[in-house]
Structure 1
Amino acid sequence: MTETELSEMADTAANTDPLKGSNNLPEEMELNKVYETIGVGTSQGIFWTISFLIAYSDYAELTLIALIMPYLRCEWDLTETFEATITITIFFIYAISALIFGKVSDIYGRKRVMSVTIVILVITAVGAALATNKYIFLVWRSIAGACIGANFATVVVYSTEFSPTSHKSVGPLISLMGSYVSMFLVNIVGYFAINALGWRWVIIIITIPIIPGWILLMIMPETPRYLCVSGKNEAALKAVRLMAKLNKASLPENLEVFCHQNKQLGSFKMILGSGSEHRKPAVLLSIMYFCNIFIETAVLVFLPLAFISQFCGGESGAPERDRCQPLSQSDLWKLSGSAFGSLAGCMAAYFVAKCLGRLKPTRGSNILQIITFGLMFKCFNDTYLFGVATVIKIINAFICMMIWFIIPESFPTMIRNTATGMINSSGKLGAVLGTAMVYLLFYASPVAVVICFVVISAITCICSFLLTKETQDVALMDT
């Protein structure tokens, strides 16, 4: 189905509405009421599919680095410094891009930013797969980092803004599920293909799912919430009529969507300015997400090193290293299993949040995370480490999901992507420092790495208690 056909469907819906002349519904409705009338159906299914595929591809590109690093090390004789440079550069550029394009997405639209960056991301994947040396590879992966930084926060906002209040958590859930499914499937692809086909083909294979996501994005509209606050009332009305048509729902023929146009789109001052009600949640969520991604990324880098070096938590000395030892099939299987733990944590968070809200589960899971990291000090074998790491991934994903529920619910549409991009940027700075911490400390003292995990978990826990606004049943704000 082309964009033209979908547009014709929306026009047909406007001209053949069965409620013509009816006074059962007001002529002018706010978007929250419009979404309740439209309900949940095919339109949200398409938008959530787009979000899943884009989020999958974004995180697949990031997960890939940890998987293929041992093979790059062997092929190009990488030094420890250059290994760290590859990962740190990607995340640093990601952080800058997220900060910039969060604001750009509030000014120019979510769809426009994603449609351009997806095309560039596919090109960079092909370029990296064809790279003839480590420097060309670094350049291509850096550009990919910029694209992912622009995409991920935007896709979460995009998927959230199409749903009624009763289903507003589904968008972040689908997006995070896409990212965690990618962690699992990338390692599965690695298990079956990396030793047989090589790391270059693995890059191509994991990039393929973003192509249907881009096609769907091209034929679907911008979010009505964004169109409203940017003053595009007719486009917003056309978008909601298309959603109603796809959902087989009825809207009055003479419907006018009540919009709150705002000229301060993407204003950092509205978020961080003196006296702003949004400053406290923005700062606390930024710190929490920084810590959360610090842990997620550091554990992602830590596990392959721990498996290869036979790390034992009770030993404080430097483990022996083999500069050119790829992961065994057993290690690849363990990484896949621990990645599945992230997906389980994501799903658990959704159901717990529906029953208990956002704040209490976040606080409790942070306390549990501190305790679980303490178990790493116990010395058994790599199977024990795999078990503890899987539990940590479950908890870390649970906390991450809770944070992403809270983020779009805490800010109005006019600054939602800017605030989300800022918070996402802080997370990727956490990824930079988490990655650097593991590479700098692991071969000197792996126990020091585990101590850092405990300290960062404690900081997250403190912030979760300072965050006091429960957003579970609050409708998304448009002003």
Structure 2
Amino acid sequence: MTATLAAGSALGRAASLSRSLDAERSVTLLARLERLPATRPVLWARSVVGMATFFDGYSTLAIAYAMPILAQTWHLTPATTAAIISSGYFGQLFGALFFGWLAERIGRLPVLIMTIALFGIMSVACIFSWDASSLMLFRFLQGIGTGGEVPVASAYVNELSGSRNRGRFFLLYELLFLVGLVFSGMVGYALVPRFGWQAMFIVGVIPVAVVAPLMLTLGESPRWLIGAGRLDRAERQIDRMETSARTHGQPIPPIEVDTVVPVTPATVGSLREMFGRFYGPRTALLWLLWFGAYMINNGLATWLPTLYRTVFHVPVGRAIGLGFAMTGVAACASLICALLIDRVGRRRWYAGALLFAVIPLVTLYAIGAHTAWAVFGLATLAYAAVQTVTYSLYLYSGELYPTRLRSTGAGFGSAWLRLGSMAGPWLIGTIVAGGAIGPVFLAFAGIALLTGLMCWRFAPETAGKSLEQLSP
């Protein structure tokens, strides 16, 4: 009996020692990762994932430039138009929740490959849509892939970056989503009037042929591997990054273990933790930001080309061109955001951008939004300001959750993105059906005001801190 107890005690001590050594090793690995500059493997990973994100942005807005022709060809009512636009966002909601959860369990890369293949295949299906119902179905399935790819990709890129200039590093990647939006406008302007609405979806097939094979050249997120207890694989990844830095003459600072918060290997975050005392307030704030900002911007982006055509009777080419110009201005504003957000800080930038957007939106309501040019000029100012928030929320979400919750948190947050994106077109469709568009802008101004004030009051500042310091 005594021998059995002694043996059990020895096994317990050995297990405890093993856990202690793993914890110490994980801290060292995180410290090695945190000190690294942006190495060639990391930049390559950001580029490949960025290409997928580029086509996600393209697919998200492609329907907006197809709708001016579809609305007339299929004799669509405002309600049916809203349903087609919203079906993609509805699918994205499911994709974000499911694939965000799955990426915590099987890794970032397998999920990215699955989602990229899904939204590419559904782009092919959209080409052969024969009526509103079939297009809604294919857009819904395409949205599942798009909704899953974006939050998982953002978690992956966030986990590759260190605390120094993380905002710039991540947002220059995320800018590719906005470039995809602009490219969607370019394709719509150049091809839709000449070749029809199917041209938007033909171009969307490219990611399956180009991006999916390149994903096989990437390595798994070292932070996810450490959190999953796969320390040998994580060390090989970090060794490869360090070797690349030395080969290309990049300076490698000394390891600073005391700046890293230890993580417990082989743990997966739970929903209870995400809604608990520490992360619960962050979750509520992020959901408000996701819903409010995207309700405004995706409502404007997806509906304005159709409004120019149906309310102001602008020719199809010009209507699409105005939408394209708006996304181009927003992309320039977002580039400025990427270069300055580490210096300004997340909280001040977000609150300032949202409160600024209130001014042109209220002005549009006050003057009655009687001309297409007035709508274009003032709506573009509001859209560009809010776009700097929407496109950087994946950065902020990744900073406010730990690795064990990062993909799930981004997925749940972006589910509110989808709800907001669905609510925006429905709100506009309902108001326009009543014969006026001015109240749309007043409603959006109220949402921007509330969201901006809540951000100013409750948003934590994250610039300049490591992910482990921000979210233990």
Check whether TM > 0.5.
yes
Match of 2:460 among 454, 469, 473: 469
1:131–1:391 CA distance, 2 compared to 1 (3 A): same
Partner-residue secondary structure (3-state), 1:85: helix
Q: What corresponds to 2:294 in structure 1?
A: 293
Alignment of 1:62-73 (within 5 A): 62-73=60-71
Is 2:363 the partner of 1:375? yes
Higher helix fraction (1 or 2): 2
Structure 1 counterpart of 2:205, from 186, 204, 207: 207
**Secondary structure of 2:76 counterpart:** coil
Once the two structures are TM-superposed, the CA of residue 262 in structure 1 deviates from its matched residue by 4.2
Counterpart in the other structure of 1:104:
102
Change (3 A) 1:187 1:27: closer
Q: CA RMSD in A?
A: 2.6
TM-score (norm 1): 0.85
Q: Does 395-404 or 230-239 show the bigger shift?
A: 395-404
Counterpart residue identity of residue 231, structure 2: N
Deviation at 1:37, TM superposition (A): 4.6
Q: 2: CA distance between counterparts of 1:218 and 1:259?
A: 30
Give how far 1:229 is off: 0.4
Scaled by the length of structure 2, the TM-score of the pair is 0.86
- Aligned pair count reads 436
Instruction: Give deviations 1:220-257, integer Å, cap 9, x for gaps.
Output: 11100001101111111121122233334599xxxx99
Query: Are the aligned partners of 1:32 and 1:164 in contact in 2 as well (CA < 8 Å)?
Result: no
Letter in structure 2 aligned against 1:427: L
2:151 & 2:26 partners in 1: Cα distance? 31
Unaligned runs of 5+ in 1: 1-25, 312-324
| Secondary structure of 1:161's aligned partner | helix
Q: Report whether the alignment pairs 1:135 with 2:133.
A: yes
Partner of 2:285: 284
> CA, structure 1 residues 467+216, in 2 after alignment: closer, same or farther (shift >3 Å)?
farther
Instruction: Say if 2:332 is the partner of 1:341.
Output: no
- Alpha-carbon distance in structure 2 between the residues aligned to 1:465 and 1:49: 33
Label 1:386 to 1:240 Cα distance change in 2 as closer, same or farther (>3 A).
same
What residue in structure 2 maps to residue 40 of structure 1? 38
TM superposition shift of 1:51: 2.6
Identity %: 19
Whole-Å separation in 1 of the counterparts to 2:144 and 2:315: 28
Provide the rounded CA distance (Å) in 2 between the counterparts of 1:287 and 1:465: 13
Select 1:220's aligned residue among 218, 221, 242.
Answer: 218
Partners of 1:49 and 1:213 within 8 A in 2: no
| Counterpart contact for 2:97–2:415, Cα < 8 Å | yes
Alignment partner of 1:425 is 2:429: no
Q: Partners of 1:417 and 1:88 in 2: how far apart? A: 24
In the other structure, the counterpart of 1:442 is 432
| Partner secondary structure for residue 466 of structure 2 | coil
Could you tell me how far 1:384 is from its partner in structure 2?
2.7
Shift of 1:345: 2.1
Q: Distance in 2 between matches of 1:119 and 1:163?
A: 26
In structure 2, give the amino acid aligned to 1:265.
Answer: V
The answer to whether the 8 A contact 2:91-2:139 is kept is: no
Deviates more, 1:167-176 or 1:282-291: 167-176
5+ long unaligned stretches in structure 2: 1-23
Partners in 2 of 1:222 and 1:335 — Cα distance? 38
Note the C-alpha offset of 1:401. 4.0
- Of 268, 272, 278, 1:269 maps to 272
Distance 1:299 1:28, change over 3 A: closer
1:92–1:428 Cα contact (<8 Å) kept: yes
Counterpart secondary structure, 1:471: coil
Give the aligned partner of residue 186 of structure 2.
188
Q: Say whether the 8 Å CA contact 1:46–1:216 is kept in structure 2.
A: no
1:468/1:310 CA distance change after superposition, 3 Å: closer
**Is the 8 Å Cα contact of residues 85 and 302 (structure 2) preserved in structure 1?**
no
Residue 331 of structure 1: which of 316, 319, 322 is its match? 319
Deviation string 1:97-121 (CA, Å, 9 cap, x unpaired) is: 2122212111111111111111111
Higher mean displacement: 174-183 or 59-68: 174-183
Which of 248, 260, 263 is equivalent to 1:260? Answer: 263
Distance 2:370 2:439 in 1: 18
Q: Check whether the contact 1:363–1:461 (CA below 8 A) recurs between aligned residues.
A: yes
Over residues 55-80 of structure 1, what are the superposed CA-to-partner deviations in whole Å (9 max), with x where a residue is unaligned? 11112111011110122223333333
Q: Deviations over 1:322-371 (max 9, x none)?
A: xxx89522222211110112212211222231222111122222211111
Closer/same/farther in 2, CA of residues 170 and 27 from structure 1, 3 Å limit: same
Aligned counterparts of 1:53 and 1:228: Cα–Cα separation in 2 = 26
Question: Equivalents in 1 of 2:227, 2:443: separation in Å?
Answer: 43
User: Structure 2 CA distance, aligned partners of 1:279 and 1:259?
Assistant: 22
Are 2:146 and 1:145 equivalent residues in the alignment? no
The Cα of 1:284 is off from its aligned counterpart by 0.7
Q: What is the Cα deviation at residue 310 of structure 1?
A: 4.7
Shift of residue 210 of structure 1?
A: 5.6
Q: 1:160 to 1:440 in 2, by over 3 A?
A: same
Contact 2:78 2:433 in 1 (8 A): no
Kept in 2, the 8 Å contact 1:70–1:326? The answer is no
- 1:282/1:292 CA distance change after superposition, 3 Å: same
Equivalent residue, structure 1, for 2:84: 86
Residue deviations 1:417-461 (CA, integer Å, cap 9, x gap): 111111111111011111111111113121221121111112211
Please give the per-residue CA displacement for 1:112-151, whole angstroms capped at 9, x wherever unaligned.
Answer: 1111111111111111112233332222111001111111
Instruction: Kindly indicate whether the alpha-carbon contact (under 8 Å) linking 1:186 and 1:206 is maintained by their aligned counterparts in 2.
Output: no
Q: Distance in 2 between matches of 1:110 and 1:27?
A: 22
Q: 2:92–2:143: 8 Å Cα contact kept in structure 1?
A: yes
Structure-2 change in CA distance of 1:333 and 1:373 (3 Å): same
